Amino acid sequence: MDVEHSDRDTIVAPATAPGVGAIAIVRLSGPRAPALLKTCFDPIGKRQKVKLFRPRHLAVGDFKAPGESEPIDRVMAVVMPGPRSYTGEDVVEIHCHGSPAVVAQIVEALCRAGARPAQPGELTRRAFENGRIDLAQAEAVCDLVQSATAAAGRMALRQLTGHLSEHISETHRRLVGFAAEIEARLDFPEEEIEPAECQALEDDLKCAEAALEDLLRQGRHGRLFREGARIVIVGRPNVGKSSLLNALVGRERALVSPHPGTTRDTIECTIELEGIAATLVDTAGWRAARDEIERMGVERTEGEVAVADLLVWVVDGSEPLADEDRAIAERIVSLPVAVACNKSDLPSAIESATIEALGFASDRVCRVSALCGEGIEALARRVAALLLGRQEAHAGETALVSNVRHLALLERAREAVGDARRAFAEGVSGDLVMVDIRRALGALDEILGRRFDEEILDAVFARFCIGK
Ligand SMILES: Nc1nc2c(ncn2[C@@H]2O[C@H](COP(=O)(O)OP(=O)(O)OP(=O)(O)O)[C@@H](O)[C@H]2O)c(=O)[nH]1
Ligand SMILES: [Mg+2]
C-alpha cells in the first residue's frame, strides 16, 4: 500500500529496546490506529472482544498479518483514544512476546495494513504538535529515557511534569505585564510616570532577572547530573593510580604491579558519585617518555587532561616529592584538581605544607591508601564536592535546567532583561526598552516551543530513540 508521509499518517514503532525480553511493546498512533488493530487482531472469545472496544482495557488475542491465517503471536492489545492519549491521537499498544523476530513481524504486518514506520521521537513530536506537552517537556521525555543515574532521572521527571515550564511561564507573565504598562505609556507620552510606579516597574525587571539567574546557576549542576563528569587520574609512574581506580570502582579493573610503566593505555570505568555518573580514567604514568609506546601513552594522558572535568593527581606519600611530581604540578595547578596523597599505610614523607606550597589548597588534598581503602570514601566525597563547586552535593538534584539548548536561551533572556532594566533605569525611551523585552520573551517562547522553526524541532527530536 502506498503510504503518504503526512502528519496524519498512522505511525508504528517498537517502544521497547531491541533485543530479547520477556515482553515487547509495539505502538501505533494516528487516526487509523484502532482500525489497523482490528485488521490484525482476533480477540479470544466474546469478553475480550468487548474489552478491546472499551478504551484503556487490555484484551487478549491472536495477532495475524493481513490475509494470513496463522498467528504471529498471542498478544494483549489496548486502545487509548485521542485526544486524551500520549500523542493526542488514537494510540494503540500491542504487548507481545519479547522476541525481535515477533516484533519485526508485527511492525511489518501493521505497515502492510497501512501504517508507516515512525521516525525517532515522532510520537513525542506529535504530542508536542497536538499541544499535549510543551517543547521543554518533550525534551524532558528524552532526558528521562536516557538518564544514567537516579538523580538525572528525577531532574528530568521534574522537567517533564512541568516545573521548568511553570518557572519560565511565570517570568514570561511578569515581562508581558511590564510590556503592557510600557506600551500603555507609549500611547500617552505626555503622562508622567509616578516615581513609586516607576520603582515597581523596575522591581518587576529585577525579579525577572533574578529568577533567570537562579535557573542558570542551577543549570550548571543540572548539566553535570545529566551528562556526567570525566575524572582523570594522573601522576608519575608507580604512585598507585591504577590501584586508586580499582579502589574507587570497588574491583580490580586495572592491572597493578610494582614495576613503573605498568599502565600503557588509558582505562576507564563509570561509577556513581553522589548521583553523578562519573567516568574515571586511569592514565599511563606521566613523565618524559623513554620509548615510542610510552610517548603514545603520555600523549593520550595529555589528551585526557585537556577534556577532564576534574583531575585527581596522585602522589606517593611515602616518598619525598620527585622532580617528575613537581613538573606535573606545574602543568595542572591552574586546572580543577583533587590531590590524592597515596600510600598512607606507610610512614609519611610529604608534609601537607609542601603540596600547598605548589598551589593546591589544603581542602583539595586527601590522604588515602589505595591498598587498604583508607580515605577512599572521603576522596570520593571531595571529588563530588569539587565537581559541584561550593554547593552541597545534593544541590544539583533540585536543578530544573540541564539542557544546553535551554541554558543558551536562558542566558539570552537574562542578558536581554538586564539590558532592559538598565535602559529603563536610565530613562531610555519606552520603545527602545521594548526591543529588549521582546528579545527576552522570544528566547523564553523558544524554550517552551511557542515559537519555533522546523529546524529546531528536527534537531530536538533527532536525539530521541525510535518508538518514543
Ligand atoms: N603500600 C602501598 N602500596 C601501594 C598503594 N597503592 C599502590 N601501591 C603499590 O604501588 C605499586 C604501583 O601501583 P600501581 O597502581 O600499578 O601504580 P600506577 O601509578 O598505576 O603505576 P603506572 O601504571 O606504572 O604508572 C604497586 O606495587 C601497588 O601495590 C598503597 O596505598 N599503599
Ligand atoms: Mg597504572
Strand order across the 41-43 sheet: 41-43, 59-63, 73-80, 91-97, 23-29, 11-14, 116-117
Cβ neighbours of residue 105 under 8 Å, at least 6 residues apart? 65, 72, 73
Indicate whether 408 and 444 sit together in one domain. yes
Q: Which atom of ligand 1 is nearest to the CA of 284?
A: 25
Give the residue from 371, 397, 423 where a domain finishes.
Answer: 397
- Please tell me the distance between residue 356's alpha carbon and the centre of ligand 2 in angstroms: 25
Is residue 467 assigned to a domain?
no
Indicate whether 263 and 384 sit together in one domain. yes
- Please tell me the distance between residue 375's alpha carbon and the centre of ligand 2 in angstroms: 19
**Phi, psi values for residue 27, rounded to 5°:** -115, 145
Q: What is the pLDDT of residues 356-380, one digit of tens each?
A: 999 999 999 999 999 999 999 999 9
- Residue 194 DSSP SS3: coil
Is residue 468 assigned to a domain?
no
Closest ligand by atom to 318 CA: 1
> Total domain count for the chain?
3
Q: Which atom of ligand 1 is nearest to the CA of 255?
A: 16
Cβ neighbours of residue 18 under 8 Å, at least 6 residues apart? 100
Indicate whether 336 and 237 sit together in one domain. yes
Q: What pLDDT score does 7 carry?
A: 54
Task: Record the cell numbers describing residue 151, joined without a space.
Answer: 538523580
Indicate whether 212 and 234 sit together in one domain. no
Is residue 125 assigned to a domain?
no
Is residue 76 assigned to a domain?
yes
Indicate whether 216 and 245 sit together in one domain. no
Is residue 28 assigned to a domain?
yes
Domain CATH code at residue 103: 3.30.1360.120
Would you say 384 and 273 are in contact if contact means Cβ atoms under 8 Å apart? Answer: yes
* pLDDT in 10s for each residue of the chain, 468 residues: 334 444 589 999 999 988 999 999 999 999 999 999 999 999 998 887 777 778 999 999 999 999 999 999 999 999 999 999 999 999 999 999 999 999 999 999 999 999 999 998 999 999 999 999 999 999 999 989 988 888 788 888 888 888 889 999 999 999 999 999 888 887 776 677 777 888 999 999 999 999 999 888 878 777 777 778 999 999 999 999 999 999 999 999 999 999 998 998 899 999 988 888 899 999 999 988 788 888 888 888 998 998 899 999 999 999 999 999 999 999 999 999 999 999 999 999 999 999 999 999 999 999 999 999 999 999 999 999 898 874 444 444 566 777 778 888 999 999 999 999 999 999 888 889 999 999 999 999 999 988 777 887 888 888 887 778
Q: Which atom of ligand 1 is nearest to the CA of 261?
A: 24
Q: Which atom of ligand 1 is nearest to the CA of 346?
A: 1
Q: What pLDDT score does 116 carry?
A: 96
Q: What is the pLDDT of residues 326-357, one digit of tens each?
A: 999 999 999 999 999 999 999 999 999 999 99
Indicate whether 162 and 53 sit together in one domain. no
Indicate whether 253 and 169 sit together in one domain. no
- Please tell me the distance between residue 350's alpha carbon and the centre of ligand 1 in angstroms: 17
Please state, as a whole number, how many other Cβ atoms lie within 10 Å of the Cβ of residue 22.
7
Q: What pLDDT score does 171 carry?
A: 95
Indicate whether 266 and 363 sit together in one domain. yes
Protein residue whose Cα sits closest to atom 17 of ligand 1: 240
Is residue 365 assigned to a domain?
yes
Domain CATH code at residue 287: 3.40.50.300
Protein residue whose Cα sits closest to atom 32 of ligand 1: 343
- Please tell me the distance between residue 343's alpha carbon and the centre of ligand 1 in angstroms: 8
**Using CA atoms, how far apart are residues 380 and 35, in angstroms rounded to an integer?**
56
Q: Which atom of ligand 1 is nearest to the CA of 314?
A: 19
Task: Record the cell numbers describing residue 393, joined without a space.
Answer: 552535593
Is residue 385 assigned to a domain?
yes
Indicate whether 213 and 236 sit together in one domain. no
Protein residue whose Cα sits closest to atom 9 of ligand 1: 240
Q: What residues have a C-beta under 5 A from ligand 2, the ion?
A: 241-242, 262-263
Give the residue from 61, 87, 118 where a domain finishes.
Answer: 118
Indicate whether 393 and 370 sit together in one domain. yes
Query: What amino acid is encoded at 113 in this protein?
Result: A
* Exposed e or buried b per residue across 294-326, where buried means at least 16 C-beta atoms within 10 angstroms of its C-beta: beebbebbeebbeebbbbbbbbbbbeebeebbe
Q: What pLDDT score does 223 carry?
A: 75
Cα angle value 304/307/310 (rounded, 5°): 90
Q: What pLDDT score does 398 carry?
A: 60
Indicate whether 55 and 162 sit together in one domain. no
- Going by C-alpha positions, the residue among 302, 307, 305 that lies closest to residue 289 is 302
Domain CATH code at residue 440: 1.20.120.430
Protein residue whose Cα sits closest to atom 21 of ligand 1: 238
Q: What pLDDT score does 392 carry?
A: 45
Is residue 124 assigned to a domain?
no
**Using CA atoms, how far apart are residues 351 and 120, in angstroms rounded to an integer?**
57
- Please tell me the distance between residue 276's alpha carbon and the centre of ligand 2 in angstroms: 24
Closest ligand by atom to 345 CA: 1
Q: Which atom of ligand 1 is nearest to the CA of 239?
A: 19
User: Is 262 exposed, middle or buried, given 0-12, 13-18 or 19+ CB atoms closer than 10 A?
Assistant: middle
Closest ligand by atom to 342 CA: 1
Q: Which residues line ligand 1 (CB under 6 A)?
A: 235, 237-243, 256-258, 260-263, 285, 342-343, 345-346, 369-371
Indicate whether 383 and 234 sit together in one domain. yes
E strand intervals along 346-446: 365-367
**Using CA atoms, how far apart are residues 425 and 162, in angstroms rounded to an integer?**
34
Give bridge partners of residue 95 from the DSSP assignment.
25, 76
Query: What amino acid is encoded at 232 in this protein?
Result: V
Parent domain of 292: 229-397
Give the residue from 348, 371, 397 where a domain finishes.
Answer: 397
Q: How far is CA 221 from CA 202, 233, 246, 335, 404, in A?
A: 30, 22, 27, 18, 12
